[in-house]
Amino acid sequence: MSKPQTAQPGLAPDLGDMTSDEFRRFGHELIDWVADYFENIEQLPVLAQIEPGELKAQLPASPPEQGESMDLIIADLDKLIVPALTHWSHPAFHAYFATSTSGPGILGELLTAAFDNKAMLWRTSPASTELEEVALDWLRQMMGLDAGMSGIIYDTASVSSMHAIAAAREGVEQRIREDGMSGRSDLPLLRVYESEQAHSSIEKAVLTLGLGQRGLRKIPTDSEFRMDPKALAAAIDEDKRNGYIPFCIVATVGTTSTSSIDPVREIVPISEEHTMWLHVDAAYAGSAAVVPEFRHILDGCERADSIVVNPHKWLFTPFDLSVLYCRHMDLLRRAFSLVPEYLRTPEQEKVRSGSDYGIQLGRRFRALKLWMVIRYFGHEGLAARIREHCRLARLFASWVEESPDWELMAPAPLALVCFRACPRREEETEGQREQRLDTLNEAIMHGVNATGKALLSHTKLNDRLTLRLSIGNIRTTERHVRQVWELLNEQLRKSHTV
């Protein structure tokens, strides 16, 4: 077989793929590029310093008629793409939930792209199907979850939770798979319960499943932003008296605003009393359970029906990879399995096929990167990194507590600190003070972010603007946390007159 020839170096041959020589050359070049990117990332501003539309304006509106050289394409990475990136891999990225990719994870992604498997049936990718079961069982053991929980990978927590609620709905036995929900006078209102601090993905799941916003009830939280179990029980009782069907409770272990942990152990008896599905959103904090001394955050989850955890958040696995652990895979399968003739296989009764458990047919070989991450770092290595992030967060929180100009706004059980500047001023009312502090803290955050040296984000707690510092990047060290503390104090001095 003759090798396809490249007309000119860097250009595509007339037919067929890039030659293997060229693939090797550009592959090596790009791996070097990525290694340099990580080595020099601290010279780049964390937040993209461009205006909306700026990148689009620099790109041609129509596609090239002839292929372009890989050299030119790679040159445009530096010229056009990098300036338009917000660098989530920067060690001073502390916004939202700081997350991070890692060497083994990136190499896993590379291989996934090369294999390009669509793991819809066992036979279309035995490797993906079986490795997924093994890697998720390892993760389950590392998190201390019991063997009754079986895992499945989706892209994001939003999708994992949507599937969990769909399985819960299937368990209600109201013929929803067969008859749907619309145009039915026999179907009472179905309700899901979450705390006021739950992530918006739960509400989106409820919308997607056709339950409507009336199908979701938000339960108040206590002074530490945790769901109030008494209020939950009262809400369910009231809804039952009204003839509704309460069918699912979503507890959060590690809420988005503050990382607060709902009292799952106290919520379990309520779900059991009413035969409701208990789904636990541990998208962020679940990874912390791989650290033996933090396992208690999943206290009670041994009686939950499902739990979502995102290795792409805090387990050094590149986006995307979310895991749903579920105790009732049969219900998930009943909700989603639909096998047309062209997908029937002789072995289907003996094996698991991912497409039976969700909306997608084709599924990426995501387990590979997780398997590589777990093998490369090992349980102890993963735990050491998460433990260190929590230590850094405690250190930062201690500086906040010790300073008269700053205050904590919520407990910091893991690696997220909620805080604000609160310098005193004589003779002002409570209302004036709160107004002033909101304006001041917003100015401080924008000031820090504009330096490009760190990135913070905010939330509102009890209606007060609150700064959030999240530590989750594999490259973040004490030096970075000290630097952001200095930047904050510098901005406080500058903005003090606001």
Give the Cβ contact number of residue 370 at 10 Å: 27
- Does 199 interact with ligand PLP (rule: CB under 6 A)? yes
- Does 406 interact with ligand PLP (rule: CB under 6 A)? no
Q: Does residue 281 contact residue 308 with C-beta atoms inside 8 Å?
A: yes
Judged by DSSP in three states, 324 sits in strand
* Tokens coding 118: 């669509």
Q: Which of 174, 201, 459, 473 binds ligand PLP (CB under 6 A)?
A: 201
Task: Render the burial of 235-255: b for 16+ CB within 10 Å, e for the rest.
Answer: bbeebeeeebbbbbbbbbbbb
- The number of residues that bind ligand PLP (CB under 6 A) is 15
Q: Are β-strands 322-326 and 150-154 bridged in parallel, bridged antiparallel, or unpaired?
A: antiparallel
- Does 284 interact with ligand PLP (rule: CB under 6 A)? yes
- Does 257 interact with ligand PLP (rule: CB under 6 A)? no
Give the Cβ contact number of residue 122 at 10 Å: 18
Tell me which stretch binds ligand PLP (CB under 6 A): 11-19, 57-65, 139-147, 254-262: 254-262
Shortest spacing between CB 284 and ligand PLP, in angstroms:
5
Q: Which of 18, 261, 283, 437 binds ligand PLP (CB under 6 A)?
A: 283
Cα–Cα distance for residue pair 12/476, rounded to 1 Å = 40
DSSP states of 365-416 = --HHHHHHHHHHHHHHHHHHHHHHHHHHHHHHHHHHHH-TTEEESS--SSSE
Which residues within the stretch 177-196 sit at the binding site for ligand PLP (CB under 6 A)?
Answer: none
Distance of alpha carbon 97 from its chain centroid, rounded?
Answer: 8
Shortest spacing between CB 283 and ligand PLP, in angstroms:
4
Tell me which stretch binds ligand PLP (CB under 6 A): 31-39, 153-161, 213-221, 484-492: 153-161
Residues 97-116: x where in contact with ligand PLP by CB under 6 A, - otherwise, as a string: x-------------------
Shortest spacing between CB 254 and ligand PLP, in angstroms:
6
- Does 252 interact with ligand PLP (rule: CB under 6 A)? yes
Q: Kindly tell me the sign of the dihedral angle through the C-alpha atoms of 239, 240, 242, 243.
A: positive
Shortest spacing between CB 96 and ligand PLP, in angstroms:
6
Judged by DSSP in three states, 28 sits in helix
**Which residue from 337, 344, 276 is spatially nearest to 304, judged by alpha carbons?**
276
Tell me which stretch binds ligand PLP (CB under 6 A): 6-14, 249-257, 430-438, 449-457: 249-257
Q: Find all residues with CB under 8 Å of 256, minimum gap 6, and list them.
A: 97, 197, 199, 284, 459
Shortest spacing between CB 282 and ligand PLP, in angstroms:
8
- Does 317 interact with ligand PLP (rule: CB under 6 A)? no
- Does 156 interact with ligand PLP (rule: CB under 6 A)? yes
Judged by DSSP in three states, 170 sits in helix
Which is nearer to ligand PLP, 149 or 159 (by Cβ)?
159
- Does 396 interact with ligand PLP (rule: CB under 6 A)? no
- Does 157 interact with ligand PLP (rule: CB under 6 A)? yes
Tell me which stretch binds ligand PLP (CB under 6 A): 173-181, 247-255, 349-357, 427-435: 247-255
User: Applying CB under 6 A, which residues contact ligand PLP?
Assistant: 97, 156-158, 199, 201, 252, 254-256, 281, 283-284, 310, 322
